[in-house]
A and B are shown apart, each in its own frame.
Chain A
């Protein structure tokens, strides 16, 4: 296993107290070797960065000895308040696959719009993804939708993804596992700008605790892990994510991808840098990572 960091972790500090250079330096400084970004957040003038920006990107990777891991993308399925067409979804996926490849990424995570209360992805996902598999092969990237709380592993969504791999026989589609799925209790993020989800009184779903053992059946299809976490306390303990159990399983199975940290705890200047260091210290004491 290898340790990386997603720049998602620096949300609310990126652009306010940290530049892109600062974030990337911080990732290297804390000892990670993998770098994950969000295309729509971190690429200047997305989706068309200048060649100067691209040159600066590779200069940073070289200076800090970082490997680009996963590129986060979105397929916003209700832009302009109408459903997306397959052609539009294909165009969005192509844009991000090309850009991710230009920047050296191995994985592209498209976050898909949903059509039901229980987060069923928009059905465009299947024909649109199928149409970009050849491009993914040409560009040497793996498309990996994210299994993210409140989705669970044993679900129709995951079954459908695995059936897709089976049917197409592709090696350019796999799963991204977000460790928030295994949270044993719910963290309520504090700080930052107050926000709410709608004014219709809707509430996020209640989700049962997902045992780490649920990972066994799908691990062979997991190409990348987002090591989501919320808070590592002053004794270097995480009370939300069962790291030991999770890391022991990956180690026993010989899984050899990236653990890419995603800090999603309380907002506050300097918190991400501190919490990421705590998590990496914790992971390195629990497992043998490079």
Chain B
């Protein structure tokens, strides 16, 4: 069973840019993202998030988001997905970076979640 990461941001550029930072330390971790509304404006899209879950080659996904309304769309996509989706109320960039580094080093999910705890800010 593989673990992957999905990034959700209100801003398309942030959603696209963050994986570049993560890829540097996590070349082998499956990474997908969803940014902006369906029209590419600032906001989030349940469909785009669902697509990012589907497109991720992992069957278990750690999902990170920026603001609260992203979380609502994330939860709807989570409910509709066949995959196991873990949702973290943690600092988006910093916790995605932490998770990516640890996943690359094959650290078990429990230990990763332990290390994410101090990053919970939402």
- On whether the two chains bind one another, the answer is no
| Interface of A toward B, CB cutoff 8 Å | none
| Interface of B toward A, CB cutoff 8 Å | none
